[in-house]
Structure 1
Amino acid sequence: MNREIVIVLIISCLWGGLAGSCVRKKKVENVDCYAPLFAQWEDTLSDNPVFVCEKVDSILPLLKDSITYYQMLTLKAKAKMFISETDSVECLLRLATDFCKKTNVSSKRHWILSAEVANMKGNLYARTTVFDSARMAFRRAYDFCERVDEPYKLLNVALNLADAYSGEGRYDWSSYWYRRALALADSLRMPDEERFPIYYGLAQVNMNLRDFDRCDYYFDLAGKYFAQMKPYEKHIYLNNRGNSYYYRQDYPKALDYFRRLLVFVNQYPDMKFERNMTMVNLGEVFLLMNQTDSATYYLNQCYAYFKEMENTSALYYIDTQLIELALKRGDLPLARKRLQEAVKPDVIDPNMLHIRNRYLQHYFEESGNFRQAYYYLKENNRIDDSTRNERIRMRVASIALRYQRDSTLMKKEMFIQQKENEVLRLNQWLYGGSLVVVLAGMCGFFIFLHRKKKRAKVESNLRTAITSLRLANIRNRISPHFIFNVLNREVKANRVAESDTNLNGLIKLIRRNLELADSLSVTLRDELDFVQTYVELESKTLQPDFVYTVEVDPQINQTNVKIPAMLLQIPIENAIKHGLRTKVGPKRLSIHICQHTDEIEIFIRDNGGGYRIGSGASGTGTGMKVITRTLQLLNAYNRCPIVMHINNVEMASHETGCEVYFRLPVDYSFELKKQKETLLWNRYLEQSL
C-alpha cells in the first residue's frame, strides 16, 4: 500500500530551514555590541523559543531602524515559527523584507540579512505546503549566501532546497541538493556527528523511492547521533523512521515509533504543531490496523487545532482519513457527507493526492461505481510512475555515484596532504627533540649541583636548629625556680636520708640532660630511667592523688632498643606541667610500650583535661619542636618513618585525657648516611621546606 504523509515533508522542510545556524556551526559578525547576544539567543532558539521572544522584545526599543534591528526581528520570526505562530511570522518577515528592498546597501551584513529573510519566507511557504514558492525563496537565499561567501549558511539553505524539492515530489533534484550539502560538508571538514540532518534527508528521499535498503542505511548513520540532536531534529528522525516502516506495511513497528514520538513531544509544550501532526499519523496507522476507536480519538484530537490554524493542507489530509474511517464503519452516507464538506486547497501535493485517490477508489467501490473507482486506480498508477520511475532512480544513482567519486578524490588529496604534514612535523620533532634533550641534560646537571648544595645547607641548618632547641628545652624544663624549690624543701627537711636521695636525683637529672644535649638516640632503658627520676622529683608537688605507671612488653630488650633522645621525657614533662599540676582530684600518668612483628608502639596518657591548642597553659612549644625536627631529620634517612600522633582520648574514669602515640620500626637507623633512594630525600625536602 502506498502512503505519503505529506505533513512529514512539511515538518522536514520547516525544521531543516529553522536549523539555520542551530544545527551546524554559526558565524555571526562581531560588528556591534549586540552580536554576542544575538549569537547566544540563536543557540537557545530551539530549546526555549518563548525566552528568545521575550529577550528580543526587551531589546528592540533600544535599537534604531537599522540592520541590527531587523536581524533581531528575523530572529524573533524564527522563534515564532517554533511555537507555530505563523501570522506573527508573516508580519515580522514583511517588515524585514520592506527594509531590505528599500535599503540599497551592498554590505556583507545586508546580504546576510536578505538571505535570512528569504530563508524564513521559504520556511513559511513550506509550512503551508506551497513548495514551489518555498523553493524559489530558498534559491534566492542561496544566491545571497554565495555573494558573501558563507559556506555554513550555504549548507543550511542547500538542505532547505532539498526538502522543498522533496515536497514537490522531484526526488532527483532533492537528492542532488542533499549531495551538494554533503560536498559542502566535506569542504568544511565537518565531522559525522554534525551531518545527521543530511543523512536523514537522504533517507527520506530513498524512502519515497521505496529503496528501503538505502533508506535504512542513511537512517542508521543519522541514528548514531540521536543523543546529540536537538528536540526538533529528534522529532524529524523519529517521525520519518516510523513512516519508513509504514511504507513497508509493518504497521506495529511504525506505531511503536509514533507512540515514542508522541511521548517525546509531550515533554515540550511549545511543540504544538509537532504533537498534533504526530496524532494525525497515529490516527492513520490505527485506521489501517482497523482499530477505528483509536483512530477516531486521535483524529478528533488534532482536527480542532488545524481548523483554528486554517491549515488547509493538514485538514485535507485529515478529511481524507475521516472518509476512509466512515467507510470502514460501513457508514456510506457519512463518507459521502465528509467528501462533500472536505476542504479543497488551491495546491495539492502529489503525495497527498495519491492518498486521497486511494480512499476515493475505496469509496466508489463501496458505492458500486466501479468505473469511477477504476479511474482513481489509474490516477494513482500514473502518479507512481511519474514519481518513482526508472529515469528518476537512474538520476539519483548517478548523482550518488558522482558524489562518491568526487568525495574519494578529495579524500585521497587530503590523505596525501596529511602525510606530507606528518613528515614535516616529524622532522620538526626530531630537531626540536634533540635540542630539548641537550637542554634537559644541562638543566638536570645544574639542578643536581644546586640540590646537592641545598641539601647540605638544609641538613646543617637542621642540625643547628635541633641543638639550639634542645638546649633551650633543657633551660626551659630545668628552670631555676624548679631547682630552688627542690633545694628549699631539702633544707627544711634538715638533711634527712630521703632528702639526700632527692638531691642525688636532681643532680642526676641535670647531668643526664646535659649528656643528652648532643645525642640523637638513647636506649629505651636509659630514657625510662631518666623519666622515672624526673617523675619522682615532680611527684612531691602532685601528691597525694598522683599515680604513675609504666608497662613494658616483656619481650622487649630495653638495652638493645634505641629511640630518639627526649622522645619520652618531653611528653611526660608536658603532661605534668600543662595537664596534671593544676588539676583537682586524682591524677593519672601512664606509659605503655608494646612490640609487634616489626614495630614498637608507645602510648603516653594523662588525665589532665586533654590537649588544647592556643590555651594559656600551652607553653612555648619548644619541647615538641625538638621532637618534630628530630623525627624529620631521622625519617629522611629511613625507608619506614617514625609516626607520631597527639590525640584527646576518653579515660576509664570518663575524663578527657591526652595521648601521645609513637610507632617505631624495629630496624630504625640513627646514622645520618646518604641513601640510594631519592624518594626519601625528596620527602624530607618537602617536609623541611
Structure 2
Amino acid sequence: MKFLYIGLLILVFEVFSCTHPIRRETTDYSHIDSLVTQTTDSLDSNPSFVAARLRMALHNTQDSASFYKLYVVYIDYYLRVFSLDTASMMAKRLLRYANEKPLSFARLEYKSEAYNALGNCQSINANLDSALVCYRLAYKYAMLDSSKVKVPDIAVNLGDMYTRKGNFVEGISFYRRALYVSDSLHMLDRMGFPIYFGLAQAYFSGLRNFTLADTYFNLARKYYDNRTLFEKFVFCNNRGNFCYYRQQYRKALPWFLKAKALVEPDHILFDLNLCNANLGDIYLKLSKLDSASYYENKAYAYFRPLNNITLLYYIATVQAGIALKRGHAAEASQWLKQYPAPQSTEPDLLSLRNKCWEDYYVMIGNYKQAFAYQTQNMLLNDSVRAQEVNSRIAEIELRFRQDSAILQREYYIHSQKEQIKALRLTNYIWILLSIIIVAVAALFYFYTKKKKDLQRIRHQEQITRLRLQNIRNRVSPHFTFNVLNREISTEEDKQKHQSLFSLVSLLRQSLAMTEQVSVSLAEEIGFVKAYIALEKHRLGEDFATTWHIDDQLDMDQLRLPSMMVQIPVENAIKHALTPKPGKKLLSISITRHKEGALIVIQDNGAGYYPGQQRTNDSTGTGLKVLYQTIQLLNAKNREKIVFSVMNIPADAGTGTKVEIYIPEHYVFE
C-alpha cells in the first residue's frame, strides 16, 4: 500500500512549498514588495484574481527589476494551474535575464528561482533525472545567496526527488539540511510539515525505521491544520499505510476513514476509490469480509475502465484474499490469474500476492506449490531486509558526517564569538561597574526616602492614637457603665431592671469583642442570646427563637470572626421580623460539617432583596464590614470561610437563610 500517493504528494510539495525570499534590488519600490506578498498569499485562494493583477502590474513595470520580481510570482501561478509549457518558457526567460546582468544577490535569487521552476516542470512530467539536475543547480545558487531563505524549499524538492528515485539515504540528507536551515531561519511554521512528512515517509517506506518514522509523523501532525486539503488527505492516507505495515489494522482504519471523509464532499473520485481499496484491505485483515467486499467492489468498478494496472493488481489480490477466507478457491484463482504482476511491482505487493497463491494451493491440497510460493516470499523478504539494513547503515554514516560537519561549524562560530567577547570584555566590565554604582546610589536614595516616609507615617499614627485616646478618655466606658449601674440599682420595676442589666452586660461584652479579631463560638452565642433577650420584649409574644447546637462541637475551642453570627441575627430581627405581622420565627442551627462547623440562621420574613431600599436607619455597613473581614482572612488561609445569603424557595414559604461555614483550623492573623 505504500506506493499509493507517495509520488503525488512529493509532486505537490515540489510545486507548492516554495515561497519567495526578500528582494534586495535597490531600484525596487516598497509597493512592489507589498504586491508580491499579496499575490503570493492569494495564489491558493484566488488564482484568477492574482493572474489579472500580475498581468496589469507587469504591463506597467515592463522590463525593469520590479518586472522580474513580479515575474517570479507569475511563474509560480502557471505552475499551480499546471500550465507547464508556459511556466517553463517563462523560467527560461528569467534565466536569460539573470545571466545577462552582472552577478549580484538578486541575480543569484533569480537563477535559483528559474532552475527550481524548471525542476518542478520536469518533476510533474516524471523526468526525474532532468528534475534532479535543475534542482541541484537551484540549490547551488541558493547556497551562494547570503540570506539562504530559498535553501529549505529546494532542499525539500531534492529530498522528494531522491525519495521518488528510491535513494532514501540521499533524500533524508537533504530533508535534514532543509530542517537545519529552516530552524536557524525560524521558518518551521511554513516548512515544518513538508520536511517532517518527507523524513517520516523516507524512514517508513525506505528504511523501515518505524520508531523514527512515527516521531516525524507526530512532528508533522502539529502543522496539519494549516495545510491544504490534498496535503491533509495524503498525510492521513500515508499514516494509515504506516499503521498497516506495523500490522496495527485497527489503528489504520480511522486514518483511512478520515482520508475518505476529506475528499468525499468534493467528489474527488480517484482519491475516494483509492481509500475504498485501502479500506477493503483493512477490513479483510480484520476479518470483516462483507465490508471488505463492499469497498473493493466499488474500487474495482472505478479503476477497471481506467485500466490502472498497478491498482487493479492490488485490488485483485485483495479480492482473492476475500475469496480464500470465504473458502471459494475457484474465485480466488480467477482473480489471481486475471491481473498478473506489472513490471517494477513493489516487493510488498509481490509478497502479498505470493501469500495469496500460497493460501490457495494449501486450500486445494497442492502443498508442493504452496511451499514454492512460501520460499519465494522468504527470498523476497530476505532481499528487502538486506537492502533496508544497507540503507540504514548508509543513512547512519551520512547522518554522522552531517552532524560532525554541523558541530565543527558551530564550534568555529562559537570560537569566533568567544574572541569577540574577549575583545569587548573590558568595555562590558566598565559599563557593568557604572551601572552597579548608579544602581547602588539609586537604591540608597530610595532607601533613605522610604525610611523618612515610614518615620513620618509612624509619627502621624502616634498622633492619631493619642487623639483617639483623648476622645475616649473624655467619655470613659467605665464612667458610662457606672452611671447605668446606679440607675439600675434605683429602678424598682423588675422587668426594666433586668432589661437594663442585660443592656449593660451586652455593652461590656460588645466592647470586649470589638477589640478582638476572633472570638470563641461560646462567646459569640452568649452575646447573640443576650441581644435576642433584649429584642424579645420589643417583638412581642409572636416572636419565637429555636436553637440547635451539635453536642460534638467544642464551643470554647472553635473560633470565628467577632459579630459573625450577631450581624445576620440583628439583620433578621430588624429587617425581616420587626415589620412582619403574625408569627415571627428565628432559628439558629450550629452543626459539625466536614472539618468545621456549619451555622444556619433562618427567618420567616419577606426575603432578602438587596436591590430594594432599606429602612431609614439602615446603612448596610454591618454586612459590608463582615464581607471585607472574611475576604482579608481568607487570603491568608487555604481552606476558606464561606458566607452566603439566600432566599428560602417559594414552595417552602418565605424568608431568608444565611449559611456560614467555619473551618476548624482557621488562622485569624
TM-score category (smaller protein): 0.5 to 0.7
In the alignment, is residue 580 of structure 1 matched against residue 577 of structure 2? yes
In the alignment, is residue 404 of structure 1 matched against residue 400 of structure 2? yes
Partner of 2:625: 628
Given that residues 242 and 258 in structure 1 are in contact (C-alpha distance below 8 angstroms), is that contact kept between their aligned partners in structure 2?
A: yes
| Bigger radius of gyration among the two | 1
Partner of 1:157: 154
Given that residues 152 and 181 in structure 2 are in contact (C-alpha distance below 8 angstroms), is that contact kept between their aligned partners in structure 1?
A: no
Deviation at residue 588 of structure 1 after TM alignment: 0.7
* Pair 232,261 (structure 1): closer, same or farther in 2 beyond 3 Å: farther
Q: Aligned ranges for residues 219-298 of structure 1 at < 5 Å? A: 219=213, 222-223=216-217, 225=219, 227-228=221-222, 230=224, 263=257, 265-269=259-263, 298=299
* Distance in 1 (alpha carbons) for counterparts of 2:527 and 2:315: 108
Given that residues 647 and 657 in structure 2 are in contact (C-alpha distance below 8 angstroms), is that contact kept between their aligned partners in structure 1?
A: yes
Given that residues 182 and 198 in structure 1 are in contact (C-alpha distance below 8 angstroms), is that contact kept between their aligned partners in structure 2?
A: no
Partner of 2:17: 20
Partner of 1:126: 123
Instruction: Map Cα deviations across residues 317-350 of structure 1 (whole Å, 9 max, x no partner).
Output: 679999999xx85999x99xx9xxx9xxxxxxx9
Partner of 1:90: 84
Given that residues 638 and 680 in structure 1 are in contact (C-alpha distance below 8 angstroms), is that contact kept between their aligned partners in structure 2?
A: no
Unaligned runs of 5+ in 1: 43-48, 81-85, 308-314, 343-349, 356-383, 469-473, 475-497, 669-678, 682-689
In the alignment, residue 625 of structure 1 is paired with which amino acid?
A: G
Given that residues 611 and 648 in structure 1 are in contact (C-alpha distance below 8 angstroms), is that contact kept between their aligned partners in structure 2?
A: yes
* Distance in 1 (alpha carbons) for counterparts of 2:169 and 2:664: 83
Given that residues 122 and 130 in structure 2 are in contact (C-alpha distance below 8 angstroms), is that contact kept between their aligned partners in structure 1?
A: yes
Partner of 1:145: 142
In the alignment, is residue 33 of structure 1 matched against residue 34 of structure 2? yes
Q: Aligned ranges for residues 631-642 of structure 1 at < 5 Å? A: 632=629
Partner of 1:609: 606
Instruction: Map Cα deviations across residues 359-409 of structure 1 (whole Å, 9 max, x no partner).
Output: xxxxxxxxxxxxxxxxxxxxxxxxx9xxx9x99x99997797465334235
Given that residues 146 and 154 in structure 1 are in contact (C-alpha distance below 8 angstroms), is that contact kept between their aligned partners in structure 2?
A: yes
In the alignment, is residue 520 of structure 1 matched against residue 513 of structure 2? yes
Given that residues 118 and 137 in structure 1 are in contact (C-alpha distance below 8 angstroms), is that contact kept between their aligned partners in structure 2?
A: yes
More off after superposition, 185-194 vs 454-463: 454-463
In the alignment, residue 520 of structure 1 is paired with which amino acid?
A: M
**Structure-1-length-normalised TM-score:** 0.54
Deviation at residue 117 of structure 1 after TM alignment: 5.3
* Pair 446,102 (structure 1): closer, same or farther in 2 beyond 3 Å: same
Instruction: Map Cα deviations across residues 547-574 of structure 1 (whole Å, 9 max, x no partner).
Output: 2335475979999999988766655554
* Pair 280,591 (structure 1): closer, same or farther in 2 beyond 3 Å: closer
In the alignment, is residue 302 of structure 1 matched against residue 303 of structure 2? yes
Which one of 647, 656, 659 corresponds to residue 658 of structure 1? 656
* Distance in 1 (alpha carbons) for counterparts of 2:49 and 2:441: 57
In the alignment, residue 546 of structure 1 is paired with which amino acid?
A: D
Deviation at residue 274 of structure 1 after TM alignment: 5.3
Deviation at residue 17 of structure 1 after TM alignment: 1.0
* Distance in 2 (alpha carbons) for counterparts of 1:396 and 1:142: 25
Instruction: Map Cα deviations across residues 78-137 of structure 1 (whole Å, 9 max, x no partner).
Output: 544xxxxx3xx3366268547736866787667646644543443333233233443344
* Distance in 1 (alpha carbons) for counterparts of 2:165 and 2:651: 95
Q: CA RMSD in A?
A: 7.3
Secondary structure, aligned partner of 2:262: coil
In the alignment, is residue 535 of structure 1 matched against residue 536 of structure 2? yes
Deviation at residue 534 of structure 1 after TM alignment: 3.5
Given that residues 111 and 138 in structure 2 are in contact (C-alpha distance below 8 angstroms), is that contact kept between their aligned partners in structure 1?
A: yes
Q: Aligned ranges for residues 436-475 of structure 1 at < 5 Å? A: none
Deviation at residue 586 of structure 1 after TM alignment: 1.3
Given that residues 588 and 600 in structure 2 are in contact (C-alpha distance below 8 angstroms), is that contact kept between their aligned partners in structure 1?
A: yes
Partner of 2:481: none
* Distance in 1 (alpha carbons) for counterparts of 2:556 and 2:216: 81
Partner of 1:592: 588
Secondary structure, aligned partner of 1:656: coil
Secondary structure, aligned partner of 2:150: helix
Deviation at residue 612 of structure 1 after TM alignment: 1.8
Given that residues 258 and 278 in structure 1 are in contact (C-alpha distance below 8 angstroms), is that contact kept between their aligned partners in structure 2?
A: no
Given that residues 119 and 138 in structure 1 are in contact (C-alpha distance below 8 angstroms), is that contact kept between their aligned partners in structure 2?
A: yes
In the alignment, residue 403 of structure 2 is paired with which amino acid?
A: S
Partner of 1:376: none
In the alignment, is residue 179 of structure 1 matched against residue 176 of structure 2? no
**How many aligned residue pairs are there?**
553
* Distance in 2 (alpha carbons) for counterparts of 1:559 and 1:317: 90
* Distance in 1 (alpha carbons) for counterparts of 2:15 and 2:396: 26
Given that residues 527 and 566 in structure 2 are in contact (C-alpha distance below 8 angstroms), is that contact kept between their aligned partners in structure 1?
A: no
* Pair 98,188 (structure 1): closer, same or farther in 2 beyond 3 Å: closer
Given that residues 93 and 120 in structure 1 are in contact (C-alpha distance below 8 angstroms), is that contact kept between their aligned partners in structure 2?
A: yes
In the alignment, residue 647 of structure 1 is paired with which amino acid?
A: V
* Pair 220,656 (structure 1): closer, same or farther in 2 beyond 3 Å: closer
More off after superposition, 293-302 vs 403-412: 293-302
Deviation at residue 14 of structure 1 after TM alignment: 1.1
Q: Aligned ranges for residues 37-52 of structure 1 at < 5 Å? A: 37=38, 49=44, 51=45
Deviation at residue 519 of structure 1 after TM alignment: 3.6
* Pair 621,258 (structure 1): closer, same or farther in 2 beyond 3 Å: closer
Deviation at residue 631 of structure 1 after TM alignment: 8.5
Deviation at residue 609 of structure 1 after TM alignment: 0.5
In the alignment, residue 84 of structure 2 is paired with which amino acid?
A: E
Secondary structure, aligned partner of 1:267: helix
* Pair 629,99 (structure 1): closer, same or farther in 2 beyond 3 Å: same
* Pair 300,646 (structure 1): closer, same or farther in 2 beyond 3 Å: closer
Given that residues 513 and 562 in structure 2 are in contact (C-alpha distance below 8 angstroms), is that contact kept between their aligned partners in structure 1?
A: yes
Given that residues 276 and 296 in structure 2 are in contact (C-alpha distance below 8 angstroms), is that contact kept between their aligned partners in structure 1?
A: no
Given that residues 199 and 221 in structure 1 are in contact (C-alpha distance below 8 angstroms), is that contact kept between their aligned partners in structure 2?
A: no
* Pair 232,650 (structure 1): closer, same or farther in 2 beyond 3 Å: closer
In the alignment, residue 513 of structure 2 is paired with which amino acid?
A: L
**Structure-2-length-normalised TM-score:** 0.55
Deviation at residue 140 of structure 1 after TM alignment: 4.6
* Pair 438,653 (structure 1): closer, same or farther in 2 beyond 3 Å: same
Secondary structure, aligned partner of 1:611: coil
Deviation at residue 20 of structure 1 after TM alignment: 2.1
* Pair 444,300 (structure 1): closer, same or farther in 2 beyond 3 Å: farther
Given that residues 111 and 144 in structure 1 are in contact (C-alpha distance below 8 angstroms), is that contact kept between their aligned partners in structure 2?
A: yes
Q: Aligned ranges for residues 265-414 of structure 1 at < 5 Å? A: 265-269=259-263, 298=299, 301-302=302-303, 351=344, 401=397, 404-411=400-407, 414=410
Unaligned runs of 5+ in 2: 24-29, 60-66, 284-291, 321-332, 349-379, 472-476, 478-490, 516-522
Q: Aligned ranges for residues 197-212 of structure 1 at < 5 Å? A: 197-199=197-199, 202-203=202-203, 207=206
* Distance in 2 (alpha carbons) for counterparts of 1:561 and 1:261: 62
* Pair 617,404 (structure 1): closer, same or farther in 2 beyond 3 Å: closer
Given that residues 255 and 282 in structure 1 are in contact (C-alpha distance below 8 angstroms), is that contact kept between their aligned partners in structure 2?
A: no
Given that residues 642 and 665 in structure 1 are in contact (C-alpha distance below 8 angstroms), is that contact kept between their aligned partners in structure 2?
A: yes
* Pair 99,18 (structure 1): closer, same or farther in 2 beyond 3 Å: same
* Pair 420,284 (structure 1): closer, same or farther in 2 beyond 3 Å: same
Higher relative CO (CA 8 A, sep ≥ 6), structure 1 or 2? 1
User: Identity rate of aligned residues, in percent?
Assistant: 15
In the alignment, residue 122 of structure 1 is paired with which amino acid?
A: G
* Distance in 2 (alpha carbons) for counterparts of 1:457 and 1:229: 64
Given that residues 503 and 534 in structure 2 are in contact (C-alpha distance below 8 angstroms), is that contact kept between their aligned partners in structure 1?
A: no
Deviation at residue 199 of structure 1 after TM alignment: 3.1
Deviation at residue 656 of structure 1 after TM alignment: 1.6
